[in-house]
Amino acid sequence: MLHLLREMLHTPVLDILHHLKHSTGLPVRELSTRMKMSYMGVKQHCVDLEKAGFLDTWRRSKGAGRPEKIYRLTPKVDALFDGGFGLALTLEILTTAERVYGETAPPKLLYTYFQAKAEALAPKLAKAVNVAERAKLLAKLRSADGCLSTCETDENGHLCLVEHHRPLRALAAHYDMVDELECEMIERLLGCEVRRSVEEVSGLVRVTFRIKTSAHHE
């Protein structure tokens, strides 16, 4: 939804939300640089968004000098990124299936969903010649699904998928197997082991799928 709003409404507020969502929090200085906008202009928008409950702040140490104020999103903004996944309907279907067919029905349906999802994505990755290329293509496909995914390399040289939104988070809150099935799907698509970790602060999230290729043995 935010993507559509940014196309329809040219306002710095939406750009601020966009940049913060793709981060773990940013100072006004960095926001103004990214947006090519005046420091005071960005700061006033951030102050207004904080008053409205869309942003909160924390202080980050810079070593020497005063700590830097960092703005980050609150959970109030989540609705802008959910993309109409239809959570209520999905939960109702799973609950009905459990009532009619027993407690094993929801896990079977979820397993089938992720299996079908993997089968649909696999042909789109077929042209990639190695894991790195598959990971880059998969990041684009998952971004199209609302995950805000990028392919990165961490400080130890490990390939990672890094995502700043979890469209299935609310579903996983009801069925904790969802996160495991999603990770297993990514492993099948990439053809190697993947380790999943999640960092959440206020309304910001960073999901990292660390990819273990043959070049990295532990």
Q: Which residues contact 184 (CB under 8 A, 6 or more apart)?
A: 114
What percent of the chain clears pLDDT 70, i.e. is strictly above it?
90
Strands (E), the chain: 55-60, 68-73, 149-153, 159-163, 193-201, 204-212
pLDDT number for residue 146:
84
Buried b (16+ CB within 10 A) or exposed e, 135-152: bbbbbeebeeebbbbbbe
Whole-structure pTM over 0.85, yes or no?
A: no
Q: Is the pLDDT of residue 62 over 80?
A: no
Using DSSP, state whether 152 is helix, strand or coil. Answer: strand
What mean pLDDT, rounded, does the chain reach? 87
- Lowest mean pLDDT across 4-13, 49-58, 94-103, 179-188: 4-13
Smallest CA-to-CA distance from 77 within 150, 148, 139 is with 148
Rounded to whole angstroms, the Cα distance separating 44 from 176 reads: 40
- pLDDT of the residue at 179: 96
Count of Cβ atoms closer than 10 Å to residue 28 Cβ: 21
Q: Of all residues in the chain, what percent are helix, strand and coil, respectively (each to 5)?
A: 55, 20, 30
Q: Is 177 exposed, middle or buried (0-12, 13-18, 19+ CB in 10 A)?
A: middle
In this prediction, residue 218 carries a pLDDT of: 45
Task: Say if residue 10's pLDDT is above 90.
Answer: no
The C-alpha atoms of residue 163 and residue 151 are separated, in whole angstroms, by 9
Token pair for 93: 């279907």
Q: Are 79 and 1 in contact (CB under 8 A)?
A: yes
pLDDT over threshold 90, residue 31: yes
Instruction: Find all residues with CB under 8 Å of 108, minimum gap 6, and list them.
Output: none
Q: Residue 118 has what pLDDT?
A: 95
Window from 51-65, 79-93, 152-166 with minimum mean pLDDT:
79-93
- Is 56 within 8 Å of 46 (Cβ atoms)? no
